[in-house]
Amino acid sequence: MLRRPRGSDAIAIRRVVAETDVLDLNSTYAYLLLATDFADTTVVAETDGRVTGVITGYVPPQRPDVLFVWQVAVAPAAQGRGIAGAMLDHLVRRVVGDRGGRPLTVEATVAPDNAPSRAFFASFARRHGVPISEQPHFTAAQLDPDLTHADEPLLRIGPIVTPTAI
Ligand SMILES: CC(C)(COP(=O)(O)OP(=O)(O)OC[C@H]1O[C@@H](n2cnc3c(N)ncnc32)[C@H](O)[C@@H]1OP(=O)(O)O)[C@@H](O)C(=O)NCCC(=O)NCCS
């Protein structure tokens, strides 16, 4: 089942992100904000009453035509079954519907060496027949003074015009 998160999901969301072992792990408080104030732009997947996936996102105040996707995580045991793709489709359909059908562009930053993430967004773009572009965005220097973090260029996917086609 795919649904909006609730405050009571914050700990489980954090667990799923931790289980991936590759994403930056944020505080429970951060996930609580996302599960409450940003619930309209966040989605969880639930399997047998347990949270198995999450996409956190928000609409940047300066770019109201954008859904910025922050973290995409599926618990290792649930990967490879289409959960992440279904979550993003569900989230985009919901946000486009909430906005009265106005076109939406999905943005996400992806480290150059994160092949699964790139494949995931490329697959989303193909599925919806929209272009995907890449431009410089967050830099290693902004993310870590020791420069151990890679640059995070921005992927832009869209605009997605017709929610019924999703
Ligand atoms: C990346 C991740 C979210 C994918 O979740 P998932 O539920 O297994 O993904 P799906 O089954 O919905 O796959 C969706 C698409 O992404 C592609 N994909 C997913 N994982 C992939 C991988 N490890 N390598 C290459 N492609 C991958 C799939 O091939 C699929 O494309 P297709 O339908 O055109 O074949 C999951 O592996 C994960 O949580 N990884 C660790 C966290 C991470 O890297 N997050 C950033 C992702 S944006």
| Identity of residue 54 | V
- Measured from the CA of 86, which atom of ligand 1 is nearest? 12
The answer to whether the pTM exceeds 0.85 is: yes
Please compute the mean of the pLDDT values over residues 91-110 and round it to a whole number.
Answer: 96
Q: Ligand 1: residues whose CB is within 6 Å?
A: 20, 22-23, 72-74, 79-85, 114-117, 119-120, 123
Statement: residue 78 has pLDDT above 90: yes
| Per-residue pLDDT, 164 | 47
Instruction: Give the start-to-end residue ranges of the domains of the chain.
Output: 2-165
Statement: residue 3 has pLDDT above 50: yes
pLDDT in tens, 103-161: 999 999 999 989 999 999 999 999 999 999 999 999 999 998 887 889 999 999 999 98
| Per-residue pLDDT, 166 | 46
Architecture of domain 2-165: 3-Layer(aba) Sandwich (3.40)
| Per-residue pLDDT, 50 | 97
Give the sheet arrangement for strand 66-74, strand by strand: 2-3, 43-47, 50-58, 66-74, 104-109, 152-160, 132-138
Selection from 102, 106, 63 nearest residue 85 by Cα? 106
pLDDT band at 74 (very low <50, low <70, confident <90, very high): very high
pLDDT in tens, 20-45: 999 999 999 999 999 999 999 999 99
* Test site for ligand 1: of 52, 120, 123, 155, most ligand atoms within 8 A of the Cβ: 120
* Residue with CA nearest ligand 1 atom 35: 123
Cα(119) to centroid(ligand 1), Å? 7
In degrees rounded to 5, what are phi and psi of residue 137? -145, -100
